[in-house]
Protein backbone atom coordinates (compact mmCIF):
# COMPACT_ATOMS: atom_id res chain seq x y z
CA UNK A 1 0.00 0.00 0.00
CA UNK A 2 1.36 3.39 -0.94
CA UNK A 3 2.00 6.01 1.74
CA UNK A 4 -0.86 8.36 0.77
CA UNK A 5 -3.39 5.52 0.85
CA UNK A 6 -2.04 4.31 4.17
CA UNK A 7 -2.27 7.80 5.68
CA UNK A 8 -5.79 8.27 4.32
CA UNK A 9 -6.85 4.88 5.71
CA UNK A 10 -5.42 5.64 9.15
CA UNK A 11 -7.17 9.02 9.25
CA UNK A 12 -10.43 7.50 7.98
CA UNK A 13 -10.24 4.82 10.68
CA UNK A 14 -9.62 7.45 13.37
CA UNK A 15 -12.59 9.52 12.20
CA UNK A 16 -14.85 6.46 12.09
CA UNK A 17 -13.63 5.32 15.52
CA UNK A 18 -14.26 8.76 16.99
CA UNK A 19 -17.75 8.62 15.49
CA UNK A 20 -18.39 5.18 16.99
CA UNK A 21 -17.38 6.53 20.39
CA UNK A 22 -19.77 9.44 19.86
CA UNK A 23 -22.63 7.14 18.93
CA UNK A 24 -22.05 4.88 21.93
CA UNK A 25 -21.08 7.57 24.47
CA UNK A 26 -22.08 11.07 23.34
CA UNK A 27 -21.05 12.58 26.67
CA UNK A 28 -17.52 11.23 26.23
CA UNK A 29 -17.30 12.86 22.81
CA UNK A 30 -18.55 16.09 24.32
CA UNK A 31 -15.86 15.95 27.01
CA UNK A 32 -13.25 15.40 24.31
CA UNK A 33 -14.56 18.50 22.54
CA UNK A 34 -14.33 20.46 25.78
CA UNK A 35 -10.69 19.39 26.15
CA UNK A 36 -9.98 21.33 22.94
CA UNK A 37 -11.04 24.49 24.73
CA UNK A 38 -7.62 26.22 24.54
CA UNK A 39 -6.03 28.26 21.75
CA UNK A 40 -3.18 25.76 21.52
CA UNK A 41 -5.53 22.82 21.15
CA UNK A 42 -7.47 24.67 18.44
CA UNK A 43 -4.22 25.21 16.54
CA UNK A 44 -3.42 21.51 16.79
CA UNK A 45 -6.94 20.67 15.56
CA UNK A 46 -6.49 23.12 12.68
CA UNK A 47 -3.15 21.53 11.74
CA UNK A 48 -4.69 18.05 11.82
CA UNK A 49 -7.52 19.22 9.55
CA UNK A 50 -5.10 20.80 7.09
CA UNK A 51 -2.95 17.66 7.02
CA UNK A 52 -5.99 15.42 6.52
CA UNK A 53 -7.27 17.63 3.71
CA UNK A 54 -3.85 17.58 2.05
CA UNK A 55 -3.75 13.78 2.30
CA UNK A 56 -7.18 13.57 0.66
CA UNK A 57 -6.04 15.81 -2.19
CA UNK A 58 -2.81 13.80 -2.48
CA UNK A 59 -4.55 10.42 -2.67
CA UNK A 60 -7.46 11.60 -4.84
CA UNK A 61 -5.90 10.76 -8.20
CA UNK A 62 -5.60 7.07 -7.27
CA UNK A 63 -9.06 6.87 -5.71
CA UNK A 64 -12.39 5.70 -7.01
CA UNK A 65 -13.84 9.24 -6.92
CA UNK A 66 -10.96 11.67 -7.55
CA UNK A 67 -12.99 14.84 -8.10
CA UNK A 68 -15.16 14.26 -5.05
CA UNK A 69 -12.15 13.49 -2.87
CA UNK A 70 -10.30 16.59 -4.08
CA UNK A 71 -13.30 18.82 -3.36
CA UNK A 72 -13.69 17.32 0.11
CA UNK A 73 -9.95 17.66 0.68
CA UNK A 74 -9.94 21.34 -0.26
CA UNK A 75 -13.01 21.98 1.93
CA UNK A 76 -11.27 20.30 4.87
CA UNK A 77 -8.16 22.43 4.25
CA UNK A 78 -10.27 25.60 4.21
CA UNK A 79 -11.98 24.46 7.41
CA UNK A 80 -8.58 23.92 8.98
CA UNK A 81 -7.39 27.36 7.95
CA UNK A 82 -10.55 28.95 9.35
CA UNK A 83 -10.50 27.02 12.64
CA UNK A 84 -8.20 29.45 14.50
CA UNK A 85 -10.14 32.42 13.09
CA UNK A 86 -13.30 31.31 14.91
CA UNK A 87 -11.48 31.29 18.23
CA UNK A 88 -12.12 29.64 21.55
CA UNK A 89 -15.22 31.72 22.40
CA UNK A 90 -17.11 30.74 19.26
CA UNK A 91 -15.95 27.17 19.61
CA UNK A 92 -17.34 27.11 23.17
CA UNK A 93 -20.63 28.63 22.00
CA UNK A 94 -21.00 26.01 19.27
CA UNK A 95 -20.13 23.24 21.71
CA UNK A 96 -22.71 24.51 24.21
CA UNK A 97 -25.37 24.69 21.51
CA UNK A 98 -24.42 21.22 20.29
CA UNK A 99 -24.67 19.74 23.79
CA UNK A 100 -28.01 21.44 24.43
CA UNK A 101 -29.58 19.60 21.50
CA UNK A 102 -29.56 16.30 23.38
CA UNK A 103 -27.92 12.91 22.98
CA UNK A 104 -29.96 11.85 19.94
CA UNK A 105 -28.72 14.87 17.99
CA UNK A 106 -25.13 14.20 19.08
CA UNK A 107 -25.45 10.54 18.10
CA UNK A 108 -26.78 11.52 14.68
CA UNK A 109 -23.78 13.78 14.04
CA UNK A 110 -21.42 11.12 15.35
CA UNK A 111 -22.95 8.65 12.89
CA UNK A 112 -22.13 11.13 10.10
CA UNK A 113 -18.49 10.90 11.20
CA UNK A 114 -18.68 7.11 11.04
CA UNK A 115 -20.16 7.26 7.53
CA UNK A 116 -17.56 9.81 6.40
CA UNK A 117 -14.70 7.67 7.70
CA UNK A 118 -16.12 4.59 5.99
CA UNK A 119 -16.69 6.56 2.77
CA UNK A 120 -13.07 7.73 2.68
CA UNK A 121 -11.85 4.19 3.40
CA UNK A 122 -13.99 2.80 0.58
CA UNK A 123 -13.08 5.44 -1.96
CA UNK A 124 -9.38 5.16 -1.22
CA UNK A 125 -9.25 1.35 -1.28
CA UNK A 126 -11.65 0.56 -4.09
CA UNK A 127 -9.89 0.24 -7.43
CA UNK A 128 -10.46 3.12 -9.80
CA UNK A 129 -12.83 2.36 -12.63
CA UNK A 130 -11.46 2.73 -16.11
CA UNK A 131 -13.34 3.07 -19.35
CA UNK A 132 -13.44 -0.25 -21.17
Would you give per-residue pLDDT tens digits along the chain (132 residues)? 588 889 999 999 999 999 999 999 988 888 888 887 888 988 998 999 999 999 999 999 888 999 999 999 999 999 999 988 888 888 888 888 988 998 899 999 999 999 999 999 999 987 766 655
> Exposed/middle/buried for 11, CB within 10 Å: 0-12, 13-18, 19+?
buried
Residue 132 lies in a domain: no
- In a domain, residue 65? The reply is yes
How many other CB atoms sit within 10 Å of the CB of residue 10? Answer: 12
Question: What is the pLDDT at residue 114?
Answer: 96
Is residue 78 in some structural domain?
Answer: yes
Q: Is residue 72 part of a domain?
A: yes
Q: What is the DSSP string of 61-125?
A: TTSSSHHHHHHHHHHHHHHHHHHHHHHHHHHHHHHHHHHHT-HHHHHHHHHHHHHHHHHHHHHHH
pTM: 0.85
130: in domain: no
Range of 43's domain? 3-125
In a domain, 98, yes or no: yes
Domain-embedded: residue 51: yes
**Total tally of structural domains belonging to the chain:** 1
Amino acid sequence: MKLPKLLAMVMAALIAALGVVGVAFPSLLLEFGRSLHTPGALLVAAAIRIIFGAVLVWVASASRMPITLRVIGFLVIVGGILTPVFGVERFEAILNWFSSQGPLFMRAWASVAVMFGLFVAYVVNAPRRTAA
